[in-house]
Structure 1
Amino acid sequence: MEEAEKEPKKDASAEEFVALSDFTASGSDQLSFLCGDRLLVHARPCEDWWWAELREDMVGYVPASHLEQEEDLEDPWQDVEYFGSYGNLKLHLEMLSDRSRTEAYRQVVLNNRDFLRDKVVMDLGCGTGIISLFCAQLAQTAKVYAVEASPIVEYTRRLVRQNDCEDVVCVLQGRAEQVQLPQRVDVLLSEWMGNCLLFEFMVEAVLLARQRWLAEGGVMWPSSAALLLVPCQAHSFYTETMTFWERPYGLDFSPLQPLAQQEFFSKPKFSHVLEPQDCLSTPSEVLFLNMYTLTVQDLEEMEGQFDFLVDTPGDFHGFCAWFTVGFESLQPGGEAVQLDTGPFSEPTHWKQTLFMLDSPVSVHQGESIRGSIVLRRNPTWRRHLSITFDWVHYSPSENQYKVSSSPYLYWRY
């Protein structure tokens, strides 16, 4: 930035660019931004550093290498990578081995087999087709349209033939917004949930399929979904990522701790296993989705509130999240089925998601942690999102309030 000695003026012909990755400013004249943010570039005083605007009151120098114009972006849905990952058996083995997940769908079909008989079903994102086979064999449905966009679909067709279900199960390859069915369906089934419920946003495909192919009065399974949250301890993870750097092998490596904090705590920890005793309060439902009324536009930003009363004193290392989905019963007096991915239920392949604070906070019984969680869909990379926690820690014994905010980029690739 040596060639740019003074602040450039804003330019009416500014061009819009998209951030390809995060950037953290190291000087007062630089501008921090997150991957997917849209910036207006007003001036290019040198090859490597440009003068840009993120919002009305946020301007500064940004590295040109981090920006790209939208028309030059390749595959903002990352379909090649996303669907490609489902083209091999690794993920399918993980999902099929998850008995809690697979048995929940099997139980839904069994509990509602009288209703499903002679009905038309769509199984969206069918994978290997196991739910479609449950419908055909256990409920004697009239037709099942098994829709899958990944390369595994060729094997799905073989599995349908191998299990003598080709007269009932019709396997179709394509995305929800592209595939064509010969008729509307009575039931739309899908296993669309990702980490922290929404990650990868397969739920959008389900909503598009609902609009295009679900008959009036048709059934959605899951029928509802909820995101749950709890403040928690995470001593093991904190020790292995932060405390480790204090004196490894008798040497002082503490200068690496700020780097470790940025690397390990700025993004969520996937597949975390939360021990029930590490919950500092009773879990709370912060989001609820009605799958009959949820819209694609709703997915752009969702906000939930929480108000936790600390009942277990300890070190508040962060928040832990998981989800539940519910399947309404269609049998008179029948029992609804729920799949719970939390720490108090049978383990699932989703496990839980951990959001670490910058540093632990000591909390005591009777104190409160109240605030909000906001999930914002990435405006460019559509399978990703950011999650921000804003909260207040109140200690009644000291009559003190501490206000905090923690943003996280939910980005796997």
Structure 2
Amino acid sequence: MEESENAEKDVCADEFVALSDFTADGTNQLSLRRGDRLVVLSRQCEDWWWAELRGVVGYVPAGHLLQCRLSTSTSNLSADSAPSPEEQQNGQAQDLEDPWQDEEYFGSYGTLKLHLEMLLDQSRTEAYRQVVLNNRDFLRDKVVLDLGCGTGIISLFCAQLAQPAKVFAVEASSMAHYTRQLVKQNGCEDVVSVLQGRAEHIQLPHKVDVLVSEWMGNCLLFEFMVEAVLQVRQRWLAEGGVMWPSSAALLLVPCQAHSYYTESMSFWKNPYGLDFSPLQPLAQQEFFSKPKFSHILEPHNCLSVPSVVLNLNMYTLTVEDLEEMAGQFSFCVNKPGDFHGFCAWFSVGFDSRQAGGDAVELNTGPFSEPTHWKQTLFMLDSPVSVQQGDSISGSIVLRRNPAWRRHMSVTLNWTCRTGTEDDCKASSVGTKTFPMWR
């Protein structure tokens, strides 16, 4: 970090307040305490901004900040002046009009681009179709709620492959208008009713026997559609009713990422015979400080056997549980290589409710058929050389953003030990927080 030439700045449109604490993990970052007031000087990328705090400048995570219009003095704001967690959660924080960013979120589902991507994902779509097929006797005369139905394909599976009494297809985006047409076009209008509206606003004539939804996002929870599923479960699922998916898990593995490391970091050493190395710190900040979505992890780049770090029971999970979820991991390295980071993905399970029926699992990992989610890559700042028999242990924490409710951060803490547990020769310790934004 470097001292600012102008430590005292007048309040401007770019003054922000810190919503929560943040501990810097690099010399070019600023540590924040809830309530700190700072001036954003430039927005380098969507996740990290260049800001000044108490006369010092550095990078700060955009997800921890909220623009404010308070007094003209930068010295009178204490931590107690910042929005409370209750105010943040209820969308009452200063100048925060849409903590869910509904217009952007539901607007994206009002076009065909995302629906095409999901429908082309055969692993995803066939998993839900198989669930209906495996439970068609159970579904006979049942009432089904398909939450976030999109084009209504799961509802149509239910209507055509089973004989439910009723299917309520709920969709908040403008796609609902076309879903009604698709239901009629496929001759299912007597069974499927399309309702447009958000989960917390829908009204049904009675409770339902089955709640099915495809709510999963990157790293399982991202975008937090799962909250809507839990709200509907509490309001509309009959006692003893069925949740599909019934369970969910987040998996993690230490991995190599040579291609991505080369194109993002090594490239700047000597491109076209010129020394571009001064750009490497900026490249590290820009490319490695946030997760890489839609990463394709080749199985041979896994340095260990994957481990489940979170397990969710969809019958008992609560909205309050979503605020912070933590898990532990311990990996034994099974091949020599470069430890570039961690890769995460999820699996969901669908319990069978039919005698003799098979449970269905949808796994989005590198050892299964590809899905549109692919995997999420979290890069270390620099690789660590590992050998067979080394160990990598630590923890992962998923924290929901206190203001922007569809976003979250992922914090990874790890210790890499060389040699066996009985004969540890050396160890390296690290921690890194990654903001996850749409």
- Superposition TM-score, scaled by structure 1 size: 0.89
Work out whether 1:37 is the aligned partner of 2:64. yes
* Match 1:243 to one of 266, 279, 282: 266
Work out whether 1:192 is the aligned partner of 2:192. no
Aligned-partner Cα distance in 2 for 1:134–1:193: 20
Contact 2:35 2:80 in 1 (8 A): no
Aligned-partner Cα distance in 1 for 2:211–2:66: 40
Tell me which amino acid in the other structure corresponds to 2:234: Q
| Between 30-39 and 230-239, the greater mean CA deviation after superposition | 30-39
Match of 2:193 in 1: 170
Give the superposition deviation at 1:37: 3.0
Aligned-partner Cα distance in 2 for 1:78–1:245: 36
Contact 1:40 1:53 in 2 (8 A): no
* Match 1:401 to one of 427, 432, 437: 427
Residue 61 of structure 2 aligns to a residue in which SS? coil
Tell me which amino acid in the other structure corresponds to 2:196: Q
Query: Per the alignment, do residues 18 and 186 of structure 1 end up closer, same or farther by CA in structure 2, a change over 3 Å counting?
Result: farther
Match of 1:9 in 2: none
Aligned-partner Cα distance in 1 for 2:154–2:395: 36
Residue 250 of structure 2 aligns to a residue in which SS? strand
Contact 2:148 2:213 in 1 (8 A): yes
Work out whether 1:160 is the aligned partner of 2:183. yes
**Where in structure 2 are the equivalents of 1:5-84 lying within 5 Å?**
22-23=48-49, 29-30=55-56, 33-37=60-64, 70-84=93-107
Tell me which amino acid in the other structure corresponds to 1:216: E
Which deviations, in whole Å up to 9, do the C-alpha atoms of 1:305-357 show, x marking residues without a partner? 00000001100000000000000000112210000000000000000000000
Match of 1:61 in 2: none
Aligned-partner Cα distance in 2 for 1:54–1:317: 37
Contact 2:336 2:387 in 1 (8 A): yes
Query: Per the alignment, do residues 19 and 324 of structure 1 end up closer, same or farther by CA in structure 2, a change over 3 Å counting?
Result: farther
Contact 1:19 1:38 in 2 (8 A): no
Tell me which amino acid in the other structure corresponds to 2:62: C
Aligned-partner Cα distance in 2 for 1:83–1:322: 24
Give the superposition deviation at 1:90: 0.4
Q: What is the RMSD of the two structures over their aligned residues, measured on CA atoms?
A: 2.7
Give the superposition deviation at 1:45: 7.0
Which deviations, in whole Å up to 9, do the C-alpha atoms of 1:75-130 show, x marking residues without a partner? 11010000000001000000000000000000000000000011000000000000
Match of 2:296 in 1: 273
* Match 2:406 to one of 365, 379, 383: 383
Aligned-partner Cα distance in 1 for 2:275–2:48: 29
Aligned length: 391
Work out whether 1:322 is the aligned partner of 2:345. yes
Percent identity of paired positions between Structure 1 and Structure 2:
70
Work out whether 1:104 is the aligned partner of 2:131. no
Aligned-partner Cα distance in 1 for 2:64–2:258: 34
Query: Per the alignment, do residues 109 and 121 of structure 1 end up closer, same or farther by CA in structure 2, a change over 3 Å counting?
Result: same
Match of 2:43 in 1: none
Query: Per the alignment, do residues 203 and 272 of structure 1 end up closer, same or farther by CA in structure 2, a change over 3 Å counting?
Result: same
Residue 71 of structure 1 aligns to a residue in which SS? coil
* Match 1:343 to one of 354, 366, 374: 366
Match of 1:64 in 2: none
- Superposition TM-score, scaled by structure 2 size: 0.84
Match of 1:63 in 2: none
Tell me which amino acid in the other structure corresponds to 2:64: D
Match of 1:141 in 2: 164
* Gap runs ≥5 in structure 1: 6-13, 57-68
